[in-house]
Structure 1
Amino acid sequence: MGGEAYVSRARWTWKALILALCLWGFNSVSSAARLSASRQKLEVQKHLNRLNKPAVKSIKSPDGDVIDCIHISHQPAFDHPYLKDHKIQMRPTYHPEGLFDENKVSEKPKERSNPITQLWHVNGKCPEDTIPVRRTKEDDVLRASSVKRYGRKKHRTIPKPRSADPDLVNESGHQHAIAYVEGDKYYGARATINVWEPKIQQPNEFSLSQLWILGGSFGEDLNSIEAGWQVSPDLYGDNNTRLFTYWTSDAYQATGCYNLLCSGFIQINSEIAMGASISPVSAFRSSQYDISILVWKDPKEGHWWMQFGNDYVLGYWPSFLFSYLAESASMIEWGGEVVNSEPDSQHTSTQMGSGRFPEEGFGKASYFRNIQVVDDSNNLKAPKGIGTFTEQSNCYDVQTGSNGDWGHYFYFGGPGRNPNCP
């Protein structure tokens, strides 16, 4: 009897010990989780403090954005160690030759009504000597895969027209419909881009229309400057169409970012905010709206400048940020890009452009018009030897053309998943 009692007590002792260990393990995991969450919150807060500089004035946009008017000398660019003593260049030394002549030739289509603006303009404007910066919120950073990756594109998102290996092209899950030129030295590019609000299937996908200024190979040292419009729920937390820029000097690995989300681009303009919503956008068989973007290399200072429309010189990327682009670009691309995450093992239904195929034409399909390059004499000119590229033309396609008013142009885009694009 005593032996049975001993065994019984021993069993209970083991059970108690196991229970205690389980509770200890649970508490340890719980404590570790709390510690990890606390560390993440601290890390996110530090990042927000770095990005959101003290504002002279703040403007609430109808879409929920807050636009902070930051003193021009306090902008994020000057967090860069090489820019500590940089003297801001308030205007480019030279504009490309032919820019203002071309504007006379390039009449807007008659269907175009009011000019495009940004939503936040409804509620105010920034004072002189300040720049408008879209305030980053905690939720914006938490949607990213990590604080370090916030505001950055994934590696290998550049369309590579010459690749004969479809697996290599599609490895990143990004798909494109572009026109491009290569084989020369390029010192800038210009385009007028039709603005739409494409439907995005998954929050981690995006759709954009942009130009790429590319230098170097398509390897780990690729240099890129990009500008256009995008819809990106992951980055902005909504489905609004927004003006954006991007740069990288190492194929999206450790350098560069969207808009002003890292140090690099120096903004001088007090009226246009990077990453802010564009309004209005084009409607199917109705009014069409477009934006003009010019990026060019100042022949004297060597910086890459950006102009939005005919009136807004936004700022510049200092030449020291780049290796190949410190001299010139070797390829220019114009067109659309989407992320295809293949939800439910099918092609995404995320739209590119208007979501219509190019053959549908004006008022239905999205377009780029008056595409031009800047040559080594700082002249804007028509590109020679335009090529086109798309990974799956049954999902997204591109068709080029040229005429007197629109110069070299192309229609592009598509609906993504459809009976011919499973």
Structure 2
Amino acid sequence: MAKFIFRVFLAVILLYLSDRVNGKAKFKDVEEKLKQLNKPAVKIIQSEDGDIIDCVEIYKQPAFDHPALRNHVIQMKPSFDLKEVKINSKNESSKLTVFQTWQKSGSCPEGTVSIRRIRREDLLRANSVQQFGRKPQEVVLKSNTTIEHKDGQSPFFNNTKFTMPTVVNRSAATLVTVGYNYVGAKADIHVWTPNVESEDEFTTAQIWLKAGPGDNFESLESGWMVNPQLYGDKKTRFFAHWTKDSYKTTGCFDLHCSGFVQTSSKVAFGGALEPVSTEFGQQYYINVGIFMDPNTNNWWLKIKEDLIIGYWPASTLLFYLNHSSTLVEWGGQVYSSNVKKKPHTKTGMGSGQFASGLRGNACYMDNIAIVDFSMQLKYPQWVGTWADEQYCYTALNYQEGYGTLPVFYFGGPGQNFNCP
């Protein structure tokens, strides 16, 4: 009798688990999502850091799950050639680029793209299968609403004040430019591994190109990120993101939804970056650039000056960015439900040190440039700095000397004596 009762109890438990996993997602939904995300591989690379990289035939990548891209013909390379000219020559010899850990274990063959495999546990960490790989929707406060730690100062451009939105669940420290039509932006982003306090928080260092109304903007983004909920650890990883409705229902990180068309077999979104910078030690960086093709309106993503990763097909995915960007930002952000309140999160931005620490202590971006319709790389004519919570995270555009262009420093530790 005891055995019978045990078997009935076990059957009930298994039936429950087959419908619910981790209290968040249905088992069937998880398996279907895994099948959708992970495409058949012609070669599999097992990275020493635990990642699995699938080498997927280029026309079988996730982009072609998008209804509007089913018959899309891949543009294999840009129709333009932007020569990368180092605007700041100071200390260039001491700067070293980083690479992705998985690259030490092998390479993907020509005709394939390298894609980091999504595992069952990755989906189980998400709030839902539908939300996996998506940035949280920004909750923007009305101008007459007051909250704790709302101490940001709006930037000025050509003596005109530019009002930045107050987002409840995000704290940012950025360099901003507006006033023109931009068809590209780039920077050397120095790579660190800041502390992330909770699994459901993340921190980035990145570039944004935006267009459209403030409550429904379009955005293309790339840089590095520490995001334990998405990736399962606290390593610094390369990422990209897009949205056409200010993160409400469209877009995603990396290739977690269809949209971005990858052309490179040498880089995998979500792959860990190494080595990283150390305090008063060697400084490492990634060069990130996003540029619109004037002939196809595809927005190309480049790293390491000349390594093309792929593109967002703006004519298919986007509306405002099908013409140009009207706002560019460089800097960092922390997503958390514990920003702009007390107690504040201890999740760091940049190096985890304030911008005033400068080189060797703070995270920074240099060789910052935009591209307008002249198709020339240039430093923006008008820039301003913005920090949502200047006692928690700071922004400083610092000119080191005559004849050099400013270097943008940003970051902070989050909670501290002045940011309780």
Query: Shorter-chain TM-score category?
Result: 0.7 to 0.9
Which residue is 2:263 aligned to? 268
Match of 1:394 in 2: 391
With over 3 angstroms needed to count, the CA separation of the structure-2 counterparts of 1:369 and 1:166, relative to structure 1, is: farther
Contact 1:198/1:351 (8 A) holds in 2: yes
Q: Does 1:369 align with 2:366?
A: yes
- What one-letter code is carried by the residue in structure 2 that aligns with 1:273? A
Q: 2:113 matched to 1:131? A: yes
Asked if 1 retains the 8 angstrom alpha-carbon contact of 2:188 and 2:367, the reply is yes
Distance 2:345 2:294 in 1: 43
User: What's the C-alpha RMSD, in Å, of the aligned pairs?
Assistant: 2.5
Name the counterpart of 1:76.
62
| Change in CA separation of 1:212 and 1:157 when aligned onto 2, cut-off 3 Å | farther
Task: State whether structure 2 residue 384 is matched by structure 1 residue 415.
Answer: no
Q: Which runs of 5 or more residues in structure 2 are unaligned? A: 1-8, 151-164
Aligned to 1:354: 351
- Pair 1:371–1:138, CA change in 2 (3 A): same
Counterparts of residues 56-67 of structure 1 (less than 5 Å): 56-67=42-53
CA-CA distance at 1:406 after TM superposition? 6.0
8 Å Cα contact 2:344/2:415 also seen in 1 = yes
Show CA shifts across 1:300-320 (max 9, x none). Answer: 111100110123111000012
- Determine which of 85, 109, 117 is the counterpart of 2:92: 109
Question: Out of 50, 54, 57, which is 2:36 matched to?
Answer: 50
Q: Residues 155 and 172 of structure 1 are in contact (CA less than 8 Å); yes or no, is this contact kept in structure 2?
A: no
Structure 1 counterpart of 2:51, one-letter code? D
Deviates more, 1:86-95 or 1:35-44: 35-44
State the distance in 2 between where 1:178 and 1:105 align.
20
Find out whether 1:182 has 2:165 as its counterpart.
Answer: no
Whichever of the two has the greater Rg, that structure is 1
User: C-alpha displacement at 1:107, in angstroms?
Assistant: 6.0
Taking the TM superposition and a 5 Å limit, the aligned residue runs for 1:322-337 are: 322-337=318-333
- The structure carrying a bigger helix percent of its residues is 1
Matched, 1:140 2:122: yes
Please point out which of 304, 323, 338 is paired with 2:334: 338
TM-score by length of 1: 0.87
SS in 2 for 1:289: strand
Q: Any idea what SS the aligned residue of 2:26 has?
A: helix
Identity %: 40
**Is 2:286 the partner of 1:286?**
no
Q: Are 1:340 and 1:347, in contact at CA under 8 Å, matched by a contact in 2?
A: no
Say if 1:166 and 1:391, in contact at 8 Å, map to a contact too: no
Aligned 8 A contact 1:355 1:414 in 2: yes
Distance 1:415 1:149 in 2: 28
Shift in Å, 1:334? 0.5
Tell me the TM-score normalised to structure 2 length: 0.87
**CA offset at residue 379 of structure 1?**
1.5
Query: Which amino acid is the alignment partner of residue 78 of structure 1?
Result: F
Aligned partner of residue 395 in structure 2, secondary structure? strand
Q: Does the C-alpha gap of structure 1 residues 163 and 58 become closer, same or farther in structure 2, counting only changes over 3 Å?
A: farther
| Residue number among 10, 23, 26 corresponding to 1:40 in the alignment | 26
Tell me how many residue pairs correspond in the alignment: 390
1:192-223: CA deviation from partner (whole Å, max 9, x where unpaired)? 1010000111111111000100010111x210
1:41 Cα shift? 0.8
The runs of 5 or more residues in structure 1 that have no matched partner are 1-25
- Tell me: CA distance 1:157–1:213, structure 2 relative to 1, closer, same or farther (3 Å): farther
Contact kept, 8 Å, 2:88 with 2:405, in 1: the verdict is: no
1:36, CA displacement in angstroms?
3.5
Q: Is the 8 A contact 2:87 2:405 kept in 1?
A: no
Aligned partner of 1:215 among 185, 188, 211: 211
User: What is residue 20 of structure 1 aligned with on the other side?
Assistant: none
Note if contact 2:139-2:167 (Cα within 8 Å) is conserved in structure 1: no
For the residues of structure 2 that align with 1:67 and 1:129, how far apart are their CA atoms?
15
Aligned to 1:400, the other structure's residue is in SS state: strand
Corresponding residue SS for 1:191: strand
